[in-house]
Chain A
Amino acid sequence: METKAFQKIYTKITQITKATCSLKATGIGYEEMAFVHGRLAQVVKIIGDDVTLQIFEGTEGVPTNAEVIFLGRPPVLKVSDELSGRYFNAYGDPIDGGPVIEGEERQIGGPSVNPVRRKQPSEFIPTGIAGIDLNNALVTGQKIPFFADPDQPYNQVMAMVALRADADKIILGGMGLTNDDYLFYKNVFDNAGALDRIISFVNTTENPPVERLLVPDMALTAAEYFAVDKNQKVLVLLTDMTLYADALSIVSNRMDQIPSKDSMPGSLYSDLAKIYEKAVQFPDGGSITIIAVTTLSGGDITHAIPDNTGYITEGQLFLRKDTDIGKVVVDPFRSLSRLKQLVIGKKTRADHPQVMNAAIRLYADAANAKTKQENGFDLTDYDERTLNFAKDYSDKLLAIDVNIEVDQMLETGWNLFNKHFEPAEVGIKQEFVDEYWPKN
């Protein structure tokens, strides 16, 4: 980012903390960007002529006589079609060795959509994964996170979902990605032959943590450009939002704010909502769908980060290792897509809701049978059959390596019902049983 000749340069910093510095300056706008000792910084507090700046890279080695140059504008991203296929850092500067983007400057973290101008989401996004499409169908304009423990393959699943999903643009916002994961995404995207529809904003663990705070806004500003200006269907991937929230707590701590639950800032809910609520179905056909990752610590969803996230997002997807089949599955009990009602049985086959519910109910019966078994009680014939069903169901439908069309998922469901149960035990409306129960 270039500096301009007429800009006034300040050289007298009065206070330096780990993340901020203060100086005397006048005529400065709130949230304005500046360079401090060549590092990007943003105004976070102005009292009289005392201006406090948050330095994204940290303050290590910043001298009191460092050059401070104010840029006269909040953080911006240059948007144009040139963004496609490129990799950027948290400031929107290319990191793939390619040329600088030419385009219109847009302020990041822009205004909200007027709720009366939103359209009700109604378009199904198939992913091929039955644990998602069958049980927790995704809809354009939805926002949904994976709740996963750090050892689970959420980045792989998300990359898979992204590439299979029918989207015009896929925008990755990577926060605190390990270099290995970054290279994984890069490799998958480069080899997918769809690079022109992928854009990445990446902050790795090698970059300063506070920089992460810019990543979601950068990714979503690009998303709004394609969804609003170009009426495209945009899928935004944000990984890992827990690391984003951790960065928020670092900053609020350095600003001497009183922490609330789990040492998170009191504004965590609003901060997360501002990001997730950018998911929207626009009236002119464009949409922004957000799939995020929130890593949990030991599966604890009462921690402030997953808890606040759950209140904001439209459901959540849980990954779990099923030891019976040795695969990772999408947990049908704890996962939920709040918007699925808008598409299942409407955009998909009419028997979809019933097949989904019946299979989950039988899977729940299997879980009860398992508890009985573990407690040493005798199993009935029905219990045995549910256990066998559960194994098949896990393997053929819930496992994340499944990649089939929704109709095939439904067929698989009917075949499993037929293999293990009588129609009366499945409890599906008679008209569907007549039509779909396998005849043999």
Chain B
Amino acid sequence: MEKINKMTKGKVAGIIANLVFVEVDGPVQQNEICYIDLEGTKLMAEIIKIVGTQAYVQVFESTRGLRINNTVDFTGHMLEITLGPGILSKNYDGLQNDLDKMDGVFLKRGEHTNPLEDDKKWEFKPIAKPGDVLEAGGWLGEVKENWMPHKIMVPFKFEGKYTVKSVTDAGEYTIQDTIAVVTDENGKDINLTMIQKWPAKLAVKAYKEKPRPFKLLETGVRVIDTLNPIAEGGTGFIPGPFGTGKTVLQHALSKQAEADMIIVAACGERANEVVEIFAEFPELDDPRTGRKLMERTTIIANTSNMPVAAREASVYTAMTLAEYYRAMGLKILLLADSTSRWAQALREMSNRMEELPGQDAFPMDLPAIISNFYSRAGFTYLNNGESGSITFIGTVSPAGGNLKEPVTESTKKAARCFYALSQQRADSKRYPAIDPLESYSKYAEYPELEEYFRENIDPEWPEKIRLARNILIRSREVSEQINILGDDGVPVEYHDRFWKGEVVDFVILQQDAFDKTDCSTPLERQKYMLNKVLDIYHTKFSFESFEDVGSYFKRIINQMKQMNYSEYESDEFKNNEKELNSLIEERKIA
């Protein structure tokens, strides 16, 4: 795919918003990048359709002032991401321009900035030895990036096997210095630096195999970890109407999830939300390393007012960065907020090209595009026997809160975990507003994962989870009957059953994202609290009337919430538990 048509040039022949028709004088390829000259400003664009000698290009910036016959230079390659040390902690736009390097308050058209630092010296340590035979993604050496070992690899684009001829000695080098020489199968020597490039829209395949996910990824969010667990290397999505807490949930995941690196793609969302990450993450501590959260985070910010075409590119940019770090044997969590905006960008372009529309005017191939993207996540075994993973969670903003719209439906087919945010729960301030019964995790049923739970959490864990779900289902059924028949129209046991479900809801499902203790619950503690809740479920209580039931369980819930708010196993926690136990004794039938 390299440099087949380096010299192709073109001229602008038509303009409709950011869709431009270019008359070309030579060969071009689908998705090739070109630059349109507008009085010296270079506007970046991508070919999305070719008809005869006309290339249809989507321009990543405003086309205001563009004229017929403006010249266009083609680059011979697709949108490429620059990979090398220095990506961590960066704030990029959707096309991997470093936002911090740009001058001025406003974004300037045609301003492209270096995603990495050419002058910075990195402390390099060799890993490969002369004579080693490596494939693409093979580790040559490593540098320390923040606190993470950043592997320098044989470029992903290399095909076949390469023999290491030499690796430079340990020492300080820039990303442009040659750090290794490898010999290809034809005996040709190739000098390698710390940087390589990869086309964002293609999946990196430099790994040996991609097994079914078999481990839990801890997020500290109880309703996810306990009831709808996501696997390391798994995929999930969070649909929800506005105001149901999608962004708060994503921020919680990015702060707490047990991953080596977090990549956040802010795709077509509010700029002030990204500013919140910019402002908070450099201050917040990563509980796992004691360092600042920003040190393990990279942000791709393409907010809703930034050019639409670059919005589509931004999710691919984020995924490519994730794949690069996965090949180093790291655990990556990739979050995209929101994939609906990306789908809308596709719709705008499809509309301008006058393609026949599918449902709600989205392009016909939307489901294919979405599932293709989700399939790039996953747990992988690398060629050297190490493993790395990308866990991907996207949010979806369904139009009108209707989950039957095309983006939600297409994503439902692709993602394995479904975290439905419910308006009703949000309205009654039951946060996180994940509907426990509507939502599901297909991983919970994987035999590999059940095995993992039994070994690592509790031999009975899968049964306990099913029981917790059942309690919730029965509680909901009973509450509907109470609503119809009235409080005194049903037996007292019905109230008991309803309130036992409320205990699961208030103590396990609901969690205060703004409380410093309750915001994140380690697995050990989740297990402890679930057992406690199940104990109460199995306990028989005596009540005279239905009024007793509600007020008694409210006290139980309040006591258990105090436990959630206090530090695990602290005196405060134990005191609260003691009070809870005596409260249980009050009405317990021996």
Contact = CB atoms under 8 A, between A and B. Distances in A.
A314 to B, nearest CB: 6
Contact of A336 (B243, B272, B305): B243
Contacts of B14: 45-48
A115 B99 contact: yes
B100 A269 contact: no
Given A120-B276, A307-B401, 11 more contacts: A26-B68, A112-B306, A116-B100, A141-B272, A142-B272, A228-B105, A261-B400, A267-B344, A308-B399, A339-B272, A341-B514
B20 to A, nearest CB: 9
B321 interface: no
Interface stretch (B59-67, B76-84, B496-504): B59-67
B368 interface: no
Given A261-B400, A311-B397, A273 B268 contact: yes
A114 B16 contact: no
Given A269-B304, A304-B399, A121 B109 contact: no
A299 interface: no
Nearest to A360: B429
A5 B407 CA distance: 54
Contact of B66 (A30, A259, A377): A30
A260 interface: yes
Contacts of A377: 486-487
Given A111-B107, A114-B107, A266-B347, A29 B65 contact: yes
A260 B340 CA distance: 14
Interface of A: 26-32, 44-49, 74, 107, 109-121, 141-142, 228, 257-261, 266-267, 269-270, 273-274, 277-278, 280, 282-283, 302-304, 307-308, 310-312, 314-315, 333, 336, 339, 341, 377
B272 A121 contact: yes
- Interface of A: prevailing SS: loop
What is the interface residue range for chain B against chain A? 35 or more
Contacts of B214: none
B274 A30 contact: no
B68 A303 contact: no
A116 B271 CA distance: 9
B555 to A, nearest CB: 12
Contacts of A48: 13-14, 68
A120 B400 contact: no
Given A112-B303, A266-B344, A45 B105 contact: no
A136 B344 CA distance: 30
A19 to B, nearest CB: 16
A277 B270 contact: yes
B107 A269 contact: no
A45 B276 contact: no
A339 B247 CA distance: 13
A120 B303 contact: no
B104 interface: yes
- Interface pairs A-B: 3 shortest CB-CB: A302-B400, A277-B305, A273-B304
A276 to B, nearest CB: 8
Interface in B64-106: 64-68, 91, 99-100, 102, 104-106
Interface string B44-63: 00000000000000000011
A46 B68 contact: yes
A242 B232 CA distance: 45
B443 interface: no
A111 B106 contact: yes
Most buried by A among B14, B348, B514: B348
Contacts of A336: 243
25 contacts: A29-B66, A30-B64, A31-B63, A44-B16, A45-B14, A46-B15, A47-B21, A109-B64, A111-B106, A114-B107, A115-B99, A117-B104, A118-B278, A120-B276, A142-B272, A257-B351, A261-B360, A261-B399, A261-B400, A269-B304, A270-B304, A277-B271, A307-B399, A310-B241, A333-B427
A273 B348 CA distance: 14
The residue in B15, B107, B308, B347 that gathers the most chain A C-beta atoms within 10 A of its C-beta is B15
Given A112-B106, A266-B361, A277 B15 contact: no
Contacts, number: 166
A83 to B, nearest CB: 20
The interface centre, meaning the residue of A120, A283, A333, A339 with most chain B CB atoms within 10 A of its CB, is A120
A13 B306 CA distance: 35
A283 B275 contact: no
B134 interface: no
B474 interface: no
B243 A29 contact: no
A220 B63 CA distance: 20
B108 interface: yes
A114 B360 contact: no
Contacts of A49: 68
A330 to B, nearest CB: 16
Most buried by B among A29, A114, A267, A302: A114
B279 interface: yes
B402 interface: yes
B341 interface: yes
B509 interface: no
B13 A314 contact: no
Contacts of A112: 106-107, 271, 303, 305-306
Interface in B465-497: 486-487
Given A30-B67, A116-B278, A111 B99 contact: no
Given A30-B67, A266-B351, A45 B16 contact: yes
Interface in B235-292: 241-243, 268, 270-272, 274-276, 278-279
Nearest to B64: A31
Contacts of A310: 241-243
B336 interface: no
A273 B64 contact: no
Contacts of B308: 267, 270
Contacts of B67: 27-30, 46
B357 interface: yes
Interface in B497-519: 514
A113 B106 contact: yes
B272 A120 contact: yes
Given A48-B13, A113-B105, A118-B271, A30 B348 contact: no
B361 A114 contact: no
B68 A283 contact: no
B272 A118 contact: yes
B301 interface: yes
Contacts of B306: 112
A277 B304 contact: yes
A267 B521 CA distance: 41
Given A114-B107, A117-B105, A303 B400 contact: yes
Given A30-B66, A266-B348, A115 B274 contact: yes
A314 B272 contact: yes
Given A30-B67, A111-B109, A113-B105, A273 B243 contact: no
A328 to B, nearest CB: 22
B402 A114 contact: no
Given A267-B348, A303-B400, A115 B21 contact: no
Nearest to B348: A267
Interface in B361-407: 361-362, 397, 399-402
A308 B401 CA distance: 11
A269 to B, nearest CB: 6
A312 B105 contact: no
A258 B357 contact: yes
B166 to A, nearest CB: 40
A148 B352 CA distance: 33
B16, B91, B272, B345 pick with most chain A CB within 10 angstroms = B272
Contact of A47 (B13, B276, B301, B427): B13
Given A30-B15, A115-B91, A269-B344, A259 B68 contact: no
Given A115-B99, A117-B105, A266-B344, A260 B360 contact: yes
A115 to B, nearest CB: 5
B344 A270 contact: yes
Contacts of B402: 302
